[in-house]
Amino acid sequence: MPFVSIRLAGTASKQQKAEIVADVTRSLVERLGKNPAAVQIVIEEVSTENYGAGGQLIADRDAPTSQPRGDAHAEPGQ
């Protein structure tokens, strides 16, 4: 009995998760000959505030910056 655990940083819609489950199940049936009724899949959504990479929280890495980069309207010397 295949058991697949998927962790996502952030969230996905119910429709997206249903499509992931269908795709993964189909892949195991086609590639390994597994019975689709035996395939179990768990999708865990991990808050980006609870997940880090490269020494930084994903929430901080992906947060919009407060100052636009390369502002063409900035006064010279600012």
What's the confidence (pLDDT) of residue 78?
47
Residue 4: Cβ-neighbour burial (10 angstroms; 0-12, 13-18, 19+) = middle
Of how many residues is the chain composed?
78
**CA–CA separation, 51 vs 15, rounded Å?**
24
Which sequence positions are flagged as catalytic?
2
**CA–CA separation, 63 vs 51, rounded Å?**
14
**CA–CA separation, 15 vs 4, rounded Å?**
18
At 66, the pLDDT band (50, 70, 90 cuts) reads low
- The end-to-end CA distance of the chain, in Å, is 63
Tens digit of each residue's pLDDT (9 = 90 or more) over 15-56: 999 999 999 999 999 999 999 999 999 999 999 999 999 999
**Domains contained in the chain, CATH given:** 3-48 (3.30.429.10)
What's the confidence (pLDDT) of residue 65?
80
